[in-house]
Structure 1
């Protein structure tokens, strides 16, 4: 299954911004309706279509963007892909050291930049947690907007970054912004809400097609987990990688909510002594490699989880694959090894 509409929209938007490379979209003549469009797809192209100044409110403060951003920097997860899907190529992005190593771009991001002939962005040093912000590198990038709607920014970090450029953070809590809100918030900040609606419509079509193709998903319960040393990390309903699967008709197992000790966080740790209470039709176990996931599933202690004892587990492993669905982004939805592969793996398990 392919993300046909979203891919077409993204391609049109990317092509429309190629001349500007560093985040300044080129523009095309406006239609009578007011928005510039691509004749082949009716997708908005070119620069911003909304009026500035624009004010965006987040959990960390109110941010006013006086004019259309030309040099955009991103921090956290998903905002780089959202910007690119909207036709804006950031000049600086957070490195994803765990996924692709130091000095590399995520494959779906690199493919989009290369397809447009856009100059690769500077990589902002990130230790893998986002806990330390490289302020000097942000200064060197000279951004006029910093997008961080899915990040772990603290109030102090937000305030310091705001001295460099306007910062758009999360609306509720750190690392809990949904995949669609990342796109919506980014589109609002960039003045491209019409383009954002087109991208979201394409993804919605993809999810609706997947749900219709797999009626066996309806009502099946699952829990997303990551095995640790003596504890099992369980993803809550606030986690975007779990929430996206609900769009397919699946349900987060009630036991997840009953055991949740995160106080609104995106995961909680469950000790091995209590894991027998984690009941679900199946588990999705994430891990750094197939060998490590297989080793975890073989642990005697984990046989207390009914789904593991019954062999009802979907394995998602290796950093790139895990990242492509944790959570999916505006570009990784269409990546063959990401959501399409996960959907088929779930379908294969439920068919057994």
Structure 2
């Protein structure tokens, strides 16, 4: 498996049926506006203390935190979308460019102003507790992450409350990440509004493209010698379904139970992927050309017919995994690609 695919899988490894996707959302071409323009501090202390139950036990946040640190995927975006610049965030080594910050996070920080956060090295997915504590955080939000028991114990042992993953590592639904972040910051009403706005964006996109409704689709990824199909539990597939697409029956028929969110398909079975449209993600235009023309992938009828929608480039591929900031950032491009592929399929 390639390094980039390994990083992406860590980004989107979800094991719950709600996944990281909206449970009834679709989108427009707009971008999410921050809930406020403050660069530090959170909401009112009126709703505190708040309690979170998670895989390592229970966390109580006594008052609205002023200095917020994040770890994992999605929490940084949620904090920024709620109008706060964190004091520390995880580096983004897939899609983050030379400065290891994704463009949507960089834009949100610039819009909010204030001091830029410390970038915590995330190259090995291991949290440097010392580096984190040096930023003097009031809370660590790590709802969707690989935070270990040892890391959790070290941070909480230093007196910093931690919002840890709910049921399993890398599995908290993305909507829960936003809701939990709002609760932790005393901004639950703002988080609810943010989720409603995201739902509206996706619903608007679906309404603008009635041709998506009922069109069968398969989300596929070809990685050197392994071909992946993503299952309905994957949040990216949920987005496609929220837009009106239907996961092709052949996708679930080929599922061998390897994971809750993907299955691999052998070359001799690729011709069994019967879907009107194929959606894929690739790191480069060269990789896309290979996907569209290789002897292996063209065994898939929709690929042979050219009914393929593709997201190209590490930044864009990373953005497919939905967060408070990535969904409005990538949705217009997704819709454009899907519309072209659907036109080909039905033409």
- Asked if TM exceeds 0.5, the reply is yes
Say which of 135, 144, 148 aligns to 1:150. Answer: 144
Moved more, 158-167 or 58-67: 158-167
How far residue 112 of structure 1 moved from its aligned partner, in angstroms, is 1.5
- Residues 251-302 of structure 1 deviation map (CA, whole Å, 9 limit, x = unaligned): 2233333333455543333332333333322111111111112113322122
- Aligned residue in 1 for 2:41: 24
CA deviation profile, 1:75-113 (whole Å, cap 9, x unmatched): 111111111111221111111112123434211111121
Residues 1:285 and 2:280 aligned together: yes
| 2:82 alignment counterpart | 86
Identify the structure with bigger relative contact order (alpha carbons < 8 Å, sequence gap 6+). 2
1:197-212 alignment, distance < 5 Å: 197-212=192-207
Shift of 1:209: 1.0
Match of 2:114 in 1: 118
Match of 1:138 among 124, 132, 143: 132
Give TM-score scaled by structure 1 length: 0.82
Distance of aligned partners of 1:126 and 1:69 in 2 relative to their CA distance in 1, 3 Å threshold: same
Q: Report how many residues are paired.
A: 317
Residue 163 in structure 1 maps to residue 180 in structure 2 = no
SS of residue in 2 equivalent to 1:97: coil
Q: Distance in 2 between matches of 1:244 and 1:179?
A: 12
TM-score (norm 2): 0.83
* Displacement of 1:314: 0.8
Q: Match for residue 49 of structure 2? A: 53
Distance in 1 (CA, whole Å) between partners of 2:45 and 2:239 is: 29
| More divergent stretch after superposition (97-106 vs 279-288) | 97-106
Gaps of 5+ in 2: 1-26
Task: Describe how 1:253-292 pairs up with structure 2 within 5 A.
Answer: 253-262=248-257, 264-292=259-287
| CA–CA separation in structure 2 for the residues paired with 1:324 and 1:176 | 17
Determine helix, strand or coil for the equivalent of 2:47. coil
1-structure distance, mates of 2:206, 2:142: 30
Q: CA deviation at 1:202?
A: 0.9
Q: Is the 8 A contact 1:176 1:265 kept in 2?
A: no
Please, what is the CA RMSD of the aligned residues? Answer: 2.2
Contact map agreement 2:216 2:248 (CA 8 A) in 1: yes
After superposition, the Cα gap between the structure-2 partners of 1:147 and 1:261, relative to the gap in structure 1 and judged at 3 Å, is farther
